[in-house]
Structure 1
Amino acid sequence: MSNRQNGGQGPWSRALGFSILLAAGATQVVAAPQDALTPVINGAAPQTLTFDWPMLRIGTGEYEEGPTGVTVFRFGRKVLGAVDVRGGGPGTVNADFLRLGYEAPELDAVVFSGGSWYGLESVTAANTALKDDGERGGHWDNVGLAVGSIIYDFGARRLNEIYPDKRLAQATLRAAQPGVFAQGPHGAGRSAVSGGLFGCNAHSGQGGAFRQIGQVKIAVFTVVNALGVVTDRDGRVVACHPDKGWPQDLKASDLMGATPDSLKPGWNGARAAAPDRKNTTISLVVTNRKLNPAELQRVAVQVHTSMARAIQPFATELDGDVLYAVSTAEVDAGPGDGLVSAEIGTVASELMWDAILAAVPAQPQGPAPTAVASNPTALARHAGEYRFSELASLQVTVKDGRLFGQATGSRDVFAIKRDAPAELVAVSDSEFAVPGRYPLTLRFEGDKVVINPGRWQQVGARARR
C-alpha cells in the first residue's frame, strides 16, 4: 500500500521522452517548491523481491513531482561493512571509513539516493534520524553511522531539479520494513537510465536478488544508472532505443566491437547529439555469514568485478560505480567446504547479474500517431503556455489546423526544442505525439499537460492569461 507521510552522476543521459501506463497508486502534480513536496513512502510496485530476513529492513521514498527518490537499507544492529569503488566519478558519504578495516561493527544503514551531489543530504539525514529517535547518541561507542552514494538523475531526463532531501530520507528510514524490495523505477532508481554511451537511453531502475544456502543468506541490490548497456547472459542488449538500421537482435558485442563508430553517425545508426554523461551504478551485497574485514573486502571486489559481464562497458571515467558489502555476522557456517568468502562472492556475483536484469522495467513505446481529424475547437483549447518548473516551459500554438509546441524556458522539453516549433501529431483530441527515436507523448487535461504519462511523467500547468 502507498503510505504518504508529511514532514520528514555519473555519464550523462540524453534528452528522454517516454510514455507508460500509469502505475497503480502513482500520481503527480505540477512541480512545487522543495519544502512543499509530499514524500511517498513504500509505494505500490508491480514487481517486488520478497525474502525472510528480519535483520535487514528496506525503505523506498519518492517525490512524484521529480520523479526522484531514495532507498534506505537499515540493519537491526551495528554491522561490519566494506566498500569498493570502480567508477571515475563517485559520490559518497563516509565510504572512506569502511576502507580502514576495523574489526568492530560500526555500520547502521546504507543509503542510495537520486539528486546527484544534493542527494547526499539523504545519507546524513538518515543518520540524524537515528539520533533524533534515540537509537543512537553522542557517546563515542554509540554514534550512528550511515554510508551511501548517489546517482545523477537531473539534466535532460526531467524538467525540474527536485532532489531527495532530509524529510524524504528520514521518513523512508523510519518506514523501512523487512523482506520487501521494490524492483524497477522506484526509490533511488526512479529516474535512472542506461546505455547513454550508445544513445540507447533506456529506462532503468533498482533491482535485487536473494538466495539462502543452508543457514547462509545472501542478498544483493543495485541501482543501475550506467553509461553502458545492460546485457543478458546470452550477450543480448536488454533495453535500448535503437536507431534505424541497427541489428534486430542487438548484442553488446556489436556495440563494443564497433566502437568508436557505434558512438557516432556512420555505424548503421546515428548517435543523438550532446548527451548528458553522468551515470553510476551503486550496489550492495549483504550476507549473514560472519566475515572478517579482509574477507568482506574481497567479496566486495569480486562481486563488483563480476558486474562488468552484465553492464558493458562498466566503470568508465564517467561512471560513479560504488559497491558496499555488509556482514551481519548472524551465522558462522559457510555454504561449502572451500574458501568461504570466495564461495559467497561467487554466489553473490550471479545474484548481482539477476539484480541488474531485474532493475530494467518494460520500455514504453508511445502511441503511434495516426491520421486523426482534429477538432478545431479542441485544438484551440490546448493553446497556451505550460510551465513545468522555473527551468522549462512549453508554448503550444495552433496553425493551419495543426498543433505545435516549442520550448520557451532555459532548456528543451525533451524532443521539443527551443529553436523551432515541433508538430504535435494527434492521436486523439487530447493526446498527441512527437515521432522520433525516443517516444514522446503529450496528454492535455484541462489546464495541465502531462508529458509521457506514467512513472516518468512531467506535468505542466497553464500560465494565467
Structure 2
Amino acid sequence: MQSQKNRSNGHRFSLLASVAAMTFTLSVSGATSASSEQDMLKPLLNAASESTLTYDWPILKVGTGTYEEGPTGVTVFHFDKKVFVAADVRGGGPGTVNASYMDLGYNYAELDTVVFSGGSWYGLEAVTAVASALKDDGIRDGDAFSLEPNMAMSVGSIIFDFGSRRLNEIYPDKRLAQAAFRAAKTGTFPRGAYGAGRFAKSGAFFGCNAFSGQGGAFKQVGDLKIAAFVIANPYGVITKRDGTVAACYEGASWPGGKIRTSDLMQGFPESRESGGKNADIPVSSKNTTVSLIVTNQKLDPAELKRLATQVHTSMGRGIQPFMTQYDGDVLYAVSTAELDEPAFMPPDLGVIASEVMWDALLSAVPEQPVAATPDPDLSYNMEQLATFTGNYTFSPMVSLEISARDGALYAQASGKRKVYGIGHQEPVALSPVAETEFMLPGRYPLTFKFKKDGQLVLNPGHWQQVSQDKTP
C-alpha cells in the first residue's frame, strides 16, 4: 500500500511539475514576445519640428525620443550641474517619481534631470532609467556621504496616451529614455507632437478630441532668464488669450467659427454635445498636463515652492476645466541659482513666469488634420474592391474587418476593442477619396489608405496607425 501511495504521489508530483514547467515556458515565451516587440523599435531622436524654440542657456539641455510605431515618446531635461527643485502636484491622477522627497524642502541642490514620458504608468521606467544612465556614464556615482553628494537624482511624470487614441500599447522604455538623455543638447526644443507629447490630445471634456503636444517658451529680462516647458494632454480645452479655444473638432450643432471657452463652460452640460456619424469615438477621460518652469534667479525652498504653486494655478486661464479628477497635473519649478542677487521679488517673478508658461502652452498645439473630401465620381467593381478586403490586425486587441458588397467598402471592428468609433455590431460604409483611399464621414477625421504591400494605414500622416498583419 505504501509503495502504491508513493507511486501515486510521485505521479501527481510529476504531473504538477510538468504543468508548472509548461506554464513557465508559456510565460517566458509570452514575456519574450512582448520584450521582442519593444526591442525591435528604433528610437527617433531630436526630430526636426515645424516650430522650434531657440534659447540661450548653456546649463539646460533637452533631448527628445520617440517610437514612431506608437507613436509615443519621452522628453528629458538635463542640467549640467546640480540644481534646486520643487513640485506642485494638483491633478486627481498624478504619476510621479520622487514627488514626496521634493516636498521635504531641503535647501541644497540635488536635481540632475526632469523626465516627461508617455506610456502612462509604464512610462515611469523612463525617469529611473535616466538616473541609471547618469551613473553608467560616470556623471554621477553612488557616494551619498561626501560634502557634496554625487548621487544621481531624476524626477518626472507621465501622461496617458493609450486608450482610444492609438491602436497599440507600445510604451517609452529604458532604452528610449537613455538614448534621449544621451542625445540632449542645449539651445533648441521641438514644439508640437514630439517627445512625451507625441500623441497628446486636448479637450475631451467637451468632445473636442484635438491633437496636442509639447510646448516651450523662453524670456530674458536683464540678467533674469525664464524657460517654460509643458506636455499638454488636458481633459479641458486649451484656451488662447482672447478667450477662444485653440483647437477643437466641433460638435454638429455648434455655431461654427471661433469657439469661446467661456461659452462652453457656461453652456455646460448642453455644450458637451457629440453629433456626427463616428462621434461615438470614446474620447479619453485619462489626461495629464505636466510642466516645468526654470529660472536662474536664486530662490530658497519656500520661494521655489510658491513659484511652482503660483505658475501652476495661473495655468487655469489657459486650460479649462483644469486639475480635474481625470487629470494628473504636476508642475516642477527649478532654480539654477546662477543669479545670486534677486532680479525680481518672488510674486513679480511668478507673474512673468506665468505668462511664459501660457506662451509655452499655446505653442504646444499643432496644426490639426482635416477630414478628407470624398470623390462622388469614383466607382469600383467587386474585383477591385476585393483587393482591399480582409482582416487587418493592429495589435493583439485591435483588428478591423474590411468587406465589400454592392459596389461599396465596409469596415467593422473584429478585435476586443472598437477602432476609432467603428464598433462590432454593424459594418459602416466608407466613402472613396482616391484610388486606394477612403474615409468615414463624421466629427473626427478618419481616413483609410490601402497600400500595395497589404498594409492598411489609418489617418496617414503624423499620427498614423499602421496594421501589422492582414488575413483573408
Matched, 1:325 2:333: yes
Which amino acid in the other structure matches residue 301 of structure 2?
Answer: P
Which amino acid in the other structure matches residue 225 of structure 1?
Answer: N
Structure-1 residue corresponding to 2:237: 229
Structure-1 residue corresponding to 2:347: 342
Which amino acid in the other structure matches residue 453 of structure 1?
Answer: P
Q: 1:67 aligns with which of 63, 71, 74?
A: 71
Structure possessing the higher radius of gyration over alpha carbons: 2
- Please list every run of 5 or more consecutive structure 2 residues that lacks an aligned counterpart in the other structure: 1-34
**1:261-300 to 2 correspondence within 5 Å?**
261-264=270-273, 272=280, 274-300=282-308
Number of aligned residue pairs: 431
Structure-2 residue corresponding to 1:307: 315
Structure-2 residue corresponding to 1:239: 247
Which amino acid in the other structure matches residue 436 of structure 1?
Answer: G
- Displacement of 1:429: 1.2
Matched, 1:460 2:467: yes
- 1-side partners of 2:123 and 2:445: how far apart? 28
Which amino acid in the other structure matches residue 71 of structure 2?
Answer: P
- Displacement of 1:46: 1.1
Matched, 1:48 2:52: yes
- 1-side partners of 2:80 and 2:235: how far apart? 35
- 2-side partners of 1:273 and 1:51: how far apart? 39
Structure-1 residue corresponding to 2:42: 38
The higher relative CO (CA closer than 8 Å, separation ≥ 6) is in 1
2:466 alignment partner, SS class: strand
> CA separation of 1:177/1:273 partners in 2, compared to 1, >3 Å: closer, same or farther?
closer
2:305 alignment partner, SS class: helix
Matched, 1:77 2:81: yes
- Displacement of 1:398: 1.4
Which amino acid in the other structure matches residue 178 of structure 1?
Answer: T
Which amino acid in the other structure matches residue 85 of structure 1?
Answer: V
Matched, 1:427 2:438: no
- Displacement of 1:381: 1.2
- Displacement of 1:413: 1.3
Whether the aligned pair in 2 keeps the contact of 1:335 and 1:343 (CA below 8 Å) is no
In angstroms, what is the RMSD of aligned CA positions?
Answer: 1.9
Which amino acid in the other structure matches residue 285 of structure 1?
Answer: I
Whether the aligned pair in 1 keeps the contact of 2:118 and 2:171 (CA below 8 Å) is yes
- 1-side partners of 2:425 and 2:67: how far apart? 31
- 2-side partners of 1:194 and 1:123: how far apart? 24
- Displacement of 1:44: 1.4
Which amino acid in the other structure matches residue 59 of structure 1?
Answer: G
- Displacement of 1:272: 4.7
**1:366-377 to 2 correspondence within 5 Å?**
366-376=371-381, 377=383
- Displacement of 1:424: 1.5
**1:142-161 to 2 correspondence within 5 Å?**
142-161=150-169
- 1-side partners of 2:411 and 2:38: how far apart? 28
1:171 alignment partner, SS class: helix
Structure with greater helix share of residues: 2
1:156 alignment partner, SS class: coil
1:236 alignment partner, SS class: coil
> CA separation of 1:264/1:426 partners in 2, compared to 1, >3 Å: closer, same or farther?
closer
- Displacement of 1:265: 6.8
Whether the aligned pair in 1 keeps the contact of 2:430 and 2:438 (CA below 8 Å) is yes
Structure-2 residue corresponding to 1:444: 450
- Displacement of 1:462: 4.0
Structure-1 residue corresponding to 2:194: 186
Whether the aligned pair in 2 keeps the contact of 1:372 and 1:428 (CA below 8 Å) is no
Which amino acid in the other structure matches residue 459 of structure 1?
Answer: V
Whether the aligned pair in 1 keeps the contact of 2:394 and 2:469 (CA below 8 Å) is no
- 1-side partners of 2:336 and 2:91: how far apart? 26
- 2-side partners of 1:350 and 1:416: how far apart? 41
- Displacement of 1:299: 0.7
- Displacement of 1:119: 0.4
Output the TM-score relative to the length of structure 1: 0.90
Structure-2 residue corresponding to 1:215: 223
- Displacement of 1:96: 1.3
Whether the aligned pair in 2 keeps the contact of 1:222 and 1:283 (CA below 8 Å) is yes
Structure-1 residue corresponding to 2:99: 95
Matched, 1:104 2:94: no
Show CA shifts across 1:364-408 (max 9, x none).
112111203233343221111111111111111111111111111
Structure-1 residue corresponding to 2:119: 115
Show CA shifts across 1:82-115 (max 9, x none).
0001111100001111111111100000000000
Whether the aligned pair in 1 keeps the contact of 2:400 and 2:413 (CA below 8 Å) is yes
Structure-2 residue corresponding to 1:7: none
Which amino acid in the other structure matches residue 66 of structure 1?
Answer: G
> CA separation of 1:386/1:69 partners in 2, compared to 1, >3 Å: closer, same or farther?
same
> CA separation of 1:296/1:229 partners in 2, compared to 1, >3 Å: closer, same or farther?
same
Deviating beyond 4 angstroms after TM superposition, the runs of 4 or more aligned structure 1 residues are 268-274
**1:364-443 to 2 correspondence within 5 Å?**
364-376=369-381, 377-443=383-449
Higher mean C-alpha deviation, range 158-167 or range 370-379:
370-379
Output the TM-score relative to the length of structure 2: 0.88
Instruction: Percent identity, please.
Output: 56
- 2-side partners of 1:47 and 1:265: how far apart? 32
Which amino acid in the other structure matches residue 397 of structure 1?
Answer: S
Whether the aligned pair in 1 keeps the contact of 2:458 and 2:464 (CA below 8 Å) is yes
- 1-side partners of 2:409 and 2:193: how far apart? 32
Which amino acid in the other structure matches residue 72 of structure 2?
Answer: T
- 2-side partners of 1:390 and 1:373: how far apart? 34
Whether the aligned pair in 2 keeps the contact of 1:264 and 1:271 (CA below 8 Å) is no
- 1-side partners of 2:196 and 2:432: how far apart? 34
- 1-side partners of 2:194 and 2:180: how far apart? 12
Which amino acid in the other structure matches residue 121 of structure 1?
Answer: E
